[in-house]
Amino acid sequence: MKILIADDSRVMRQIVVRTLRQAGFGDHELIEAANGREAFDMVNSESPDLVLSDWNMPEMNGIECLRQLRAAGNDVKFGFVTSESTPEMKDQADAAGALFFIVKPFSAERFDEVFAPILG
């Protein structure tokens, strides 16, 4: 599977990659985007199977990226890895079609719990 990690923090992208490996998902192809706009473009150009996106990013935030993907008819599996988690944000994410909501700081156990059913 190809997994796209979108976060404006390069360090956080590295931590997401490391945590995926720790959780046993290191064999998948991992690609990265530095903001929502780049993620949107890469979903179209790279056709990932799964997107792990930060919420708060410059250029285009994560929820806007998801909404634009869905508006364009793209149903890639998409979820959030973010430091923010309010009920209103979770509602917005659900309404837009997000599969999961992981809150920073996160653990390898949390990744396993969320991604095992998706990545197998």
Partner 1 sequence: MSVEVEVNENDLAEMVEQVWESYLDPEGVNPLIPTYDENQPSEVHSSVSITGSWTGHIVYASSTLAARRAAAAFLAMEPDEVSEEDLSDVLGELANIVGGNVKAMLPPGALLSLPQVVLAPEATARFPNTSRISGVYGVWDGEPVSISMWQSRGDNHNKEGAE
Binding site for partner 1 (CB under 8 A): 8-12, 14-15, 18, 56-58, 82-88, 103-107
Q: In angstroms, what is the minimal distance from the CB of 35 to partner 1? A: 10
Complex with partner 1: residue 48 or 114, whichever CB lies closer: 114
Look at residues 117, 119, 114, 118 and name the one whose alpha carbon lies nearest to residue 101: 114
Q: In angstroms, what is the minimal distance from the CB of 118 to partner 1? A: 22
Q: Is 72 exposed, middle or buried (0-12, 13-18, 19+ CB in 10 A)?
A: exposed
Element containing residue 102 per DSSP (H, E): strand 101-103
Q: Name every residue whose Cβ is closer than 8 Å to that of residue 38 and which is 6 or more positions away in sequence.
A: 6, 59
Q: In angstroms, what is the minimal distance from the CB of 55 to partner 1? A: 8
Complex with partner 1: residue 26 or 47, whichever CB lies closer: 26
Q: Rounded to an integer, what is the distance from CA 54 to the centroid of its chain?
A: 6
Q: In angstroms, what is the minimal distance from the CB of 33 to partner 1? A: 16
Complex with partner 1: residue 8 or 32, whichever CB lies closer: 8
